[in-house]
Amino acid sequence: MNINIIEIVTNKKYILFFIGWYILLYPFIDVSAQQIPLFSQYTFSPFLLNPAAAGAEGYTTISITSRNQWLGIKDAPRIYSASGQTRFMKQSHIRKGVPVKRKYKNNLRGGRVGIGFNIYSFHAGQINQTGAQFTYAYHISFRKTSQLSMGTSLLYLKYKISTDNLELTDKTDDPVYNNRISMNIPDINIGVYYTDQNKYIGLSILQLLRASINFSHYENEDLRIYRHVYLIAGYRYNLNSVDVLEPSIFLKSSEQLKFQIDASLKYTRDNKFWIGIGYRSGLTFIGTVGLSLHKLYIGYSYDYSPKGLLNYSYGSHEIMLAIKMGDNARRYRYLDRY
């Protein structure tokens, strides 16, 4: 089957998919800075956005991501992340020393639990943020090829002000001179995630506890960790046995109702090569490309904005490396692979 990419991209249903979402959300879109690290290759690692996605695909995955925003600008944001996720396998029916009744119960409960971890470091100017989270997810299969997942993450955050090369206009600056230049904060993320063989949709709430990050003794509502709501959705359209087209959206909102939306379209060839384009509200264009070498996956994305920082920056660059072990078909109960 010959593939005409231009004909596919201009297909009415895909145009309506993106235009409809953008028109619906445009009045609410605000591109104000958010408190959570930003990633452009979100379709590859939904686990970083939604704890319910831990183990949802059935793979055991270990990945690292490096993102440099606004390259060329001093002290611009830099993000480094390392994560891993897996799904517990079913216990065998044949286990010596275990009663038959208990074997049956273990088999029913097995294969539904996914776990994951994520460690990241985020630097922006004089502010350093370090985060670590442990994730538990529970997956329920139904209709043979569908799956509903629920998950939660326990999150540890450390905020620190770097005093290197810091010039104070106020020599009595309270946080510095009272040594309150770092804070340790616990938090919680929660989410739900639905998948089947062709589509996925997930909703998550991050930083649920809404802690304060004041470095001084004075209360300030603007120095709180705000809750964020993420919605991610996509559809994998099989053009033939090897070619897949995947439109997707990623909607982000803080509890202040400040919205940002990513819309993207990715083309994958034989699960070995992919290329994609995207748009982020605020006039940012995104290009992605990647390939897989057996179990190793390599991805790269470039963010370009034709306004604002164009004269001072070379854009934002993101590199992702991942190892995937197993088979995503393991999530379907009729294969009985857990």
**Is the pLDDT assigned to residue 27 strictly greater than 50?**
no
Can you give the pLDDT at residue 10?
44
Is pLDDT at 336 greater than 60 in this prediction? no
Dist. CA 52–CA 331, nearest whole Å: 14
Domains of the chain and CATH, by start: 5-335 (2.40.160.40)
The stretch 283-306 carries a mean pLDDT of 92
pLDDT top residue among 330 and 40: 40
- The 10s digit of each residue's pLDDT in 50-68 is 999 999 988 899 999 999 8
For residue 283, count other CB atoms closer than 10 A to its CB.
12
For residue range 101-160, what is the model confidence (pLDDT) as tens digits? Answer: 344 334 334 589 999 999 999 887 777 889 999 999 999 988 778 999 999 999 998 888
Is 80 exceeded by the pLDDT of residue 88? yes
d(CA 3, CA 273): 15
| Residue 218, pLDDT score | 54
State the chain's mean pLDDT as an integer. Answer: 77
A 10 A CB-CB count for 44 gives: 21
Question: What is the per-residue pLDDT for 49?
Answer: 92
Q: What is the pLDDT of residue 305?
A: 82
| Alpha-carbon distances of 29 from 11, 25, 154, 227, rounded to whole Å | 26, 6, 29, 17
What gap in Å lies between CA 150 and CA 204, rounded to an integer? 10
